[in-house]
Amino acid sequence: MSTETCDLAVIGGGVHGASVALFAARAGLRVTLFDADALCRAASGTNAGTLTMQMTRAALIPYAMEAHKMWTDASRWLGHDVGVVACEGLSLAFTEREEQILSDRATARGAAGAPIRLITPEETLKIEPNANPGIRMASHCAIDGYANAYLTGIAFRRALLEAGVTIREYTPVIGLEPTGQGYDLKLRDGKASARQIVLAGGVWLEPMMEMLGLRLAIKTLVNQLAVTERAAPLMRTVVCIASGLLSLKQFPHGTVVIGGGWQGTGDRDTNSHRATTESMIGNVRLAVHAIPRLRQTRIVRSWTGFESETADALPALGPIPGFEGAWICGAVHSGYTSAPYTAHCLTQAILGGEPDMPLFPIDRLLTAPLRDPQRSTH
pLDDT at position 376 is 41
How far, in Å, are 15, 174, 312 from residue 40 at the CA level?
A: 6, 20, 25
Query: How many residues does this entry show for the chain?
Result: 378
pLDDT beneath 70, residues of the chain: 1-3, 368-378
pLDDT at position 1 is 44
DSSP for 46-66, written as a single string: HS--B--STTS-GGGHHHHHH
128 and 140 Cβ atoms separated by less than 8 Å = no
pLDDT at position 377 is 39
Q: How far apart are CA 317 and CA 327, in angstroms?
A: 8
Question: Can you name the residues that pair with 250 across neighbouring β-strands?
Answer: 256
The domain spans of the chain are 2-45+151-217+312-364, 86-143+219-309
pLDDT at position 89 is 96
Question: Can you name the residues that pair with 118 across neighbouring β-strands?
Answer: 139
Superfamily of chain region 2-45+151-217+312-364: FAD/NAD(P)-binding domain (3.50.50.60)
Helix (H) or strand (E) holding 290: helix 277-290
- What CATH number does domain 86-143+219-309 carry, 3.50.50.60, 3.30.9.10, 2.30.31.20, 3.40.1260.10? 3.30.9.10
Q: How far apart are CA 63 and CA 49, in angstroms?
A: 17
pLDDT at position 3 is 65
Report which DSSP code applies to 321.
T
pLDDT at position 375 is 40
185 and 8 Cβ atoms separated by less than 8 Å = no
Q: How far apart are CA 289 and CA 155, in angstroms?
A: 35
116 and 105 Cβ atoms separated by less than 8 Å = yes
User: First CA to last CA across the chain, in angstroms?
Assistant: 20
88-118 pLDDT tens trace: 999 999 999 999 999 999 999 999 999 999 9
DSSP strands (E only) in the chain: 2-11, 31-34, 85-93, 116-119, 137-146, 166-168, 173-178, 183-187, 190-199, 219-228, 238-241, 247-250, 256-263, 265-267, 272-274, 299-309, 316-319, 326-330
pLDDT at position 367 is 82
pLDDT at position 168 is 96
Residue 329 contacts by C-beta under 8 Å, 6 or more apart in sequence? 12, 16, 17, 20, 198, 199, 200, 315, 316, 317, 342, 343, 346
pLDDT at position 165 is 98
